[in-house]
Structure 1
């Protein structure tokens, strides 16, 4: 049996800055996932019980809760699948507020936040790769 590092699909090739950035994003996703979980359980500031929401909102809350928490774990442990799950979660939420805005409404700030986080990730990743190549 291989060691635990292999089982987690750890990516040792990521640069230090990329790993730190992904840890920050993991913390943000963990926070978002826990807030969504609290909403599903009926706990939250905006009240509203989960069962009173329309079916599309219930489905979205459950899917995004799972995706956010999975992405947070994947990014925190530096797994190669972490950014993939994060991208799926971001694309799902962006699609909710663009393609299906008649159901979910428009939340430009969330769309911009996802785009900014992903754009910064790509910039940090490319910067780390360039720095490693120049060494």
Structure 2
């Protein structure tokens, strides 16, 4: 399943850019930008740092996958957002999101699921023809 037709390809590229910006924002947080002189490991804890590192790598790889219009990029992005939102909803202190950050990431996750669903329907339609 790929996103080579016109509307799916554009949506995949938009999601790739969003994934890249989210991943770079997380990378900046890992480096301690905006935290003053406090260490990011001390600020979010060791497990939070490891979780944020894994999510950052997932999002950067997802951005590459979506940019080349491959389905594995969308799957990785959806998985990383689902993991982060699950940790947030379970009340973990490893993930810190505001209301607008939660709404934004939920919207990106739903758009990613929509992209995968539309691509799957497109494949089924092509097989039926």
- Give the TM-score normalised by the residue count of structure 1: 0.70
Unmatched segments (≥5 aa) in structure 2: none
- CA apart distance, 1:129: 5.4
Label 1:16 to 1:133 Cα distance change in 2 as closer, same or farther (>3 A): farther
For 2:10 and 2:122, how far apart are their aligned partners in 1?
12
What secondary structure does 1:43 align onto? Answer: coil
Alpha-carbon distance in structure 2 between the residues aligned to 1:79 and 1:123: 14
CA RMSD of aligned residues (A): 3.0
1:63-106: CA deviations, max 9, x gaps?
1110110000000011232122112112211211123x142356
Structure 1 gaps of 5+ residues are 1-10
Give the superposition deviation at 1:14.
Answer: 3.8
2:55 maps to: 64
Equivalent residue number for residue 112 of structure 1: 106
**Is 1:29 aligned to 2:19, yes or no?**
yes
Query: How far 1:127 moved relative to its partner?
Result: 7.0
Q: Tell me the SS of whatever aligns to 2:71.
A: coil
Aligned residues: 123
1:125 aligns with 2:115: no
Paired residues of 1:14 and 1:128 also in contact (CA < 8 A)? no
Change (3 A) 1:58 1:13: closer
Change in CA separation of 1:17 and 1:134 when aligned onto 2, cut-off 3 Å: farther
Distance 1:94 1:114, change over 3 A: farther
